[in-house]
């Protein structure tokens, strides 16, 4: 296990609005996939977005990980250009709640996405071979649930992280077999977060960002707000430093 490199301390400036992604799009396993990478990456990261898809804040997060960690980062479009509508959040009316529930029950079913993710990873590995290096996985919100289910011996990941994860279930933690980070917001159930942390039997880092909303590292992050912007940066720095320990 190596110590984090100095690169992890070099987070690019956070762009509050009108962010222009630095990566490109390709097709892998039939899915449009955002890909961002330095010239000679030392690891490959599967980034599982939140239910709102390719939002600028989320794409900027992928670019941060690529730059600060020297990682090749891939973000498949599991929802195939039909993500959830940001206006549904927070789901504070019966109508919004019904739409969110239907979305999670349909195309955002975590178990179905886990199966697709396994096939997607195998295609990348077959293309890249040894050049793919060590694999990690990070997920936001709904993607955090998927990451919890992927962080077992059945999949090729060596480290994992979630931010403001949805559907936190302490039982999921009992099967996790790789070093794991969870960055919770003020909106996750603290009892579930605590139970999840207690059940992790691997190297772990669990922290609650107590004044941040669910989604601050993804589509719901208000990067024009100085406090959110600072915690967004700190979140991605934390994930990068954690991952670099295992590369």
**Predicted TM-score (pTM) above 0.85:** yes
**How much is the pLDDT for 157?**
95
Q: CB under 8 Å to 102, separation ≥6 — which residues?
A: none
Q: What pLDDT digit, counting tens, does each position of 212-236 carry? A: 999 999 999 999 999 999 999 999 9
Q: What pLDDT digit, counting tens, does each position of 86-109 carry? A: 999 888 999 999 999 899 888 899
Under the banding of pLDDT at 50, 70 and 90, the label for residue 10 is confident
Contact in structure between 37 and 106 (CB atoms under 8 Å): no
**List of domains in the chain:** 6-244 (3.40.50.1820)
The C-alpha angle 234, 238, 244, rounded to 5 degrees, equals 145
Measure CA 211 to chain center. Answer: 20
SS3 category, 103: helix
Give the span between the Cα atoms of 204 and 180, in whole angstroms.
5
What angle do helix axes 142-150 and 110-128 make, rounded to 10 degrees? 60
**Higher model confidence: residue 231 or residue 5?**
231
Under the banding of pLDDT at 50, 70 and 90, the label for residue 204 is very high
**How much is the pLDDT for 94?**
94
**How much is the pLDDT for 127?**
77
Q: What pLDDT digit, counting tens, does each position of 138-172 carry? A: 999 999 999 999 999 999 999 999 999 999 999 99
Query: By C-alpha distance, which of 216, 236, 241, 78 is closest to 159?
Result: 241
Query: By C-alpha distance, which of 135, 164, 166 is closest to 151?
Result: 135
What percent of the chain stands above pLDDT 90?
85
The C-alpha angle 128, 154, 109, rounded to 5 degrees, equals 95
């Amino acid at each position: 296990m190596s110590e984090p490199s100095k690169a992890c301390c070099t987070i690019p400036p956070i762009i509050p609005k009108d962010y222009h992604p630095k990566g490109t799009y390709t097709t892998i396993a039939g899915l449009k996939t955002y890909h961002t990478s330095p010239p000679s990456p030392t690891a490959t990261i599967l980034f599982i977005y939140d239910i709102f898809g390719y939002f600028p804040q989320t794409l900027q997060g992928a670019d941060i990980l690529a730059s600060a960690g020297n990682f090749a980062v891939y973000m498949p479009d599991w929802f195939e250009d039909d993500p959830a509508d940001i206006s549904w959040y927070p789901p504070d009316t019966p109508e919004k709640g019904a739409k969110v529930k239907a979305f999670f029950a349909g195309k955002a079913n975590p178990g179905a996405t886990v199966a697709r993710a396994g096939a997607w990873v195998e295609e990348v590995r077959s293309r890249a071979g040894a050049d793919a290096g060590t694999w990690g996985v990070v997920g936001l919100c709904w993607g955090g649930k998927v990451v919890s289910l992927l962080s077992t011996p059945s999949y090729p990941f060596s480290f994992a992280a979630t931010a403001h994860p949805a559907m936190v279930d302490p039982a999921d933690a009992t099967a996790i077999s790789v070093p794991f980070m969870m960055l919770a917001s003020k909106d996750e159930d603290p009892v579930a977060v605590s139970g999840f942390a207690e059940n992790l039997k691997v190297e772990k880092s669990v922290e609650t960002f107590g004044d941040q909303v669910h989604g601050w590292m993804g589509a719901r992050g208000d990067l024009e707000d100085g406090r959110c912007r600072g915690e967004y940066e700190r979140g991605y720095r934390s994930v990068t430093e954690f991952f670099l320990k295992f590369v």
